[in-house]
Amino acid sequence: MPSFKSSHTQFIKAKAHELGFQSCGIAKAEFLEDVAPKLEEWLATNQHGQMDYMDNHFDKRLDPTLLVPGAKSVISLAYNYYPAKDLSTNGSYKLAKYAYGEDYHFVIKDKLKELFSAIENEVGAVEGRVFVDSAPVMERQWAARSGLGWLGKNTLLLSKQKGSFFFLAEIILDLELDYDTPATNHCGTCTKCIDACPTEAISHEGLVNASQCISYFTIELKDELPASVKGQFEDWMFGCDICQDVCPWNRFSVAHSEPRFTPHPDLAHVTKGDWQELTEEVFGKLFKKSAVKRTKFTGLKRNIRFLT
């Protein structure tokens, strides 16, 4: 007869899949001792650029019990966003695939709340919190510990079965569960992501200098874009998928089935000329609930000017 711990674990994983999550893995909530020195060095060498929030809450990033007192488990979840049609192949300026539809924070937070409520209905009151890229949580490290995949040389989580085009989310709670085994690394000697990065942001040591990444330049950087990287963006105006597009494991990516990730129908037909003449009204229509709003109309126009 299964223990309560095992039955609770089985229930959570079954419910997660029912809600549309691709994968669900669980790790013991404990201090990330092996991650601490790498994070410290990455911050000390200013590889986070102007992302000052990465320098905040250092201890909380490494210790989930500081986010949820008494935490025993970190549930990691993956949610597919790979589109049926790659809009970056239409000859126009490019958007990262994750930003085609509605902002993932809203979509996944709704599902996490539903999952958390289901857990409480099943096991009783628990203390916990849900996270979607919105708090100091080392989501890729926790996902790797819970067996969802391994950290590739581009520092993204890779899965042999699913590639890397998925969002990560977490539930940290004070419930003891069965823990999964970390996945092994399957990058081998492949350096396609390193070789393909136009701004050489990825090192052979498996580190990404975020301050040199096209995604950082087009989303996070608030200043004018530096002349030193002019001509290196390969038409990416918001985010970048280059290191994912060239990854051999992404040949296993399949189209998502989330209606809220469907892009605005006009997005596939906007030409470079249209983007250059973009108005705030059209921006608001195309990206009504999109993550692109993060860079604002002025930021996207800045990026487009830089590409022309």
pLDDT tens readout for residues 12-22: 999 999 999 99
* pLDDT of amino acid 1: 47
Q: Give yes or no for residue 203 having a pLDDT over 80.
A: yes
- Min mean pLDDT across 5-19, 121-135, 158-172, 174-188 is at 121-135
**Dihedral pair phi/psi, residue 146, rounded to 5°:** -90, 10
* pLDDT of amino acid 43: 60
Report the distance separating Cα 75 and Cα 205, nearest Å: 28
Q: Which of 63, 86, 110, 133 is catalytic?
A: 133
| Higher-scoring residue by pLDDT: 235, 35 | 235
Q: How many CB atoms lie within 10 A of CB 285?
A: 11
Q: Give yes or no for residue 5 having a pLDDT over 60.
A: yes
Segment 73-94, tens digit of pLDDT: 999 999 999 999 999 998 999 9
Q: What angle do CA 11, 12, 13 make, to 5 degrees?
A: 95
Question: Active site includes 86?
Answer: no
pTM here is 0.92
Q: Give yes or no for residue 29 having a pLDDT over 50.
A: yes
| Higher-scoring residue by pLDDT: 298, 56 | 298
* pLDDT of amino acid 51: 57
Contacts of 189 (CB under 8 A, 6+ apart): none
Segment 271-291, tens digit of pLDDT: 999 999 999 999 999 999 999
Please tell me the total count of domains within the chain: 1
Residue range(s) defining the domain that contains residue 32: 1-308
